[in-house]
């Protein structure tokens, strides 16, 4: 019985960590959405500084970074982060509310995210993406364990 309580505690802690991650993704998605405006403002601001001093350290470094913030890549990053974060926070909230349907839905959603993460990893190594993928696999295992228990527990909401 103590083992199950410990597993449940780890599950709840992992859900809170996933919620924090989701909120950070939502914030980053919003920031990326407005980055095109930021790019325009930064270009305007550094233009005057570069006319005054073409060797200005900060202005030249910002100028070199601006081409990497294309509007297409910003929109993609914004959409990806916002959708990923919103889906995960929605599922975490419903898992914490003991909604039985949220368990299999979370497993499927995390599995699909893992597939996409593996696809991204096939193009390049990223320790962050590897750790995120391993964490998602860990949460899938915990969610499956909790789901098996929840199916037979009357305190879990089977509807709505």
pLDDT, tens digit (0-9, with 9 covering 90-100), for 111-139: 999 999 999 889 888 898 899 899 999 99
Give yes or no for a contact between 45 and 63, defined as CB atoms under 8 angstroms apart. no
Give me the phi and psi of 89, to 5 degrees please.
Answer: -70, -35
Domain boundaries, the chain: 2-150
Q: Is residue 49's pLDDT more than 80?
A: no
Minimal CA–CA distance to 8: which of 76, 95, 135?
95
Pairwise CA distance, residues 15 & 118, whole Å: 22
pLDDT at 44: 75
pTM of the model: 0.72
135: buried, middle or exposed (CB in 10 Å: 19+, 13-18, 0-12)? middle
Residues 61-86 have pLDDT tens digits of 777 777 666 666 677 778 888 999 99
Minimal CA–CA distance to 74: which of 125, 117, 28?
28
Secondary structure of residue 126 in the 3-state scheme? coil
């Amino acid at each position: 019985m103590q083992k199950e309580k410990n597993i449940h505690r780890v599950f709840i802690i992992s859900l809170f960590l996933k919620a924090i991650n989701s909120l950070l993704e939502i914030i980053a998605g919003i920031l990326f959405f407005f980055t095109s405006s930021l790019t325009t403002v930064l270009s305007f601001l550094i233009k005057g500084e570069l006319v005054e001093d073409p060797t200005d350290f900060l202005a030249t470094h910002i100028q070199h970074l601006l081409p990497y913030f294309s509007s297409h890549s910003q929109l993609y990053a914004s959409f990806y982060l916002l959708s990923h974060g919103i889906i995960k926070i929605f599922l975490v909230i419903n898992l914490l509310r003991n909604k039985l349907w949220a368990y299999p839905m979370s497993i499927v959603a995390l599995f699909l995210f893992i597939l996409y993460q593996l696809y991204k990893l096939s193009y390049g190594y990223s320790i962050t993406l590897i750790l995120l993928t391993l964490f998602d696999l860990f949460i899938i295992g915990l969610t499956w364990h909790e789901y098996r228990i929840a199916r037979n527990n009357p305190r879990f909401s089977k509807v709505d």
